[in-house]
Amino acid sequence: MQQIKQGIYYEDGYLGVTLGALVLPFGTILIDSPLRPEDARSWRSSLINQRGGSNRVLISLDAHIDRTLGARTMECTIIAHQKAAQIFRNRPNVFKGQGFESGAEWETYLDAIGTRWATPDITFTDRLELHWGGPKVVVEHHPGPSFGASWVIIPDEQIVFIGDAVVLNQPPFLANADLPPWIENLNDLTTKYSNYLIVSGRGGLVPNEVVRAQHKSLKSILKGLERLAKRNAPPENTESLINNILADSGFAAEKTEQFAQRLRMGLYQYYVRHYRPMSQQEEDGIESSGDFMHL
């Protein structure tokens, strides 16, 4: 567990995503949850030792399986954006896994199958504020990586937790993305939040140059997809973009196939959704029976 400022922490040692915690006089505000129950118990124990208030609330920065599957183990009220909460309504009560590989971390955890979801208790549309005896905590909707993506902002401390808006040393998840608002949000991050400490949901603290590199990479991906769309290329041709994207991401060699598969599926699904739209009936069928929209 790394301390950013007094009472503000992040943890990047568990399987899944980078976690955050704000230990305040009235209680602890948790940001995302570990995948594995044993990690959740360890995380809760670590935070109890920080002597915050007795209340506890969990903010899910989006509905990605990596950050939400273990939420029930945190045993507290859950906050998420309204669109993220809607995704849970289409999921079965018990997680049954996928019929394909998405390059996510949960796929390396075999015991994930059979886990019961914990659905959000509190939702919001644009902005929500928490006042727990310390600095004001703002939860804001910042779409891009997914429909219901949010940031947690602590203005007085100049800290922002941004989820998957920027990922460190790995390619982004694209299956549920909307690139234009994502790119715009990263532009805001490099201007309005240039003096903030930025905590990525996959990698911890990131400097501004990493944010700018992510911004540049997403613009390049969007241009590549638009070129394919202008040629009316089939969705399978999105695979031609993978090598260039991987070349921009620094990662361990053993992760190559996992990350290539992440992009293979993500680019394909993005292209189909944005450039090969199906009829509403077909789309509704996929959303209710499949889970690619819910990664």
pTM greater than 0.95? no
Per residue in 19-75, pLDDT (tens digit) is 999 999 999 999 999 988 899 888 888 888 777 667 899 999 999 988 998 888 888
**3-class state of residue 192 by DSSP:** coil
| Cα–Cα distance for residue pair 240/268, rounded to 1 Å | 11
Side chain identity at residue 218, one-letter code: L
Query: Going from the N-terminus, what domains does the chain have, and what CATH number goes with each?
Result: 2-294 (3.60.15.10)
Which tokens go with 131? 């006042």
Which tokens go with 272? 């189909």
Bridge partners of residue 80, in order along the sequence: 123
Write the DSSP symbol of residue 278: P
What is the mean pLDDT of the segment spanning 157-184? Answer: 94
Give the closest residue to 180 by CA, choosing from 235, 216, 219: 219
What is the mean pLDDT of the segment spanning 204-214? Answer: 93
| Cα–Cα distance for residue pair 174/161, rounded to 1 Å | 20
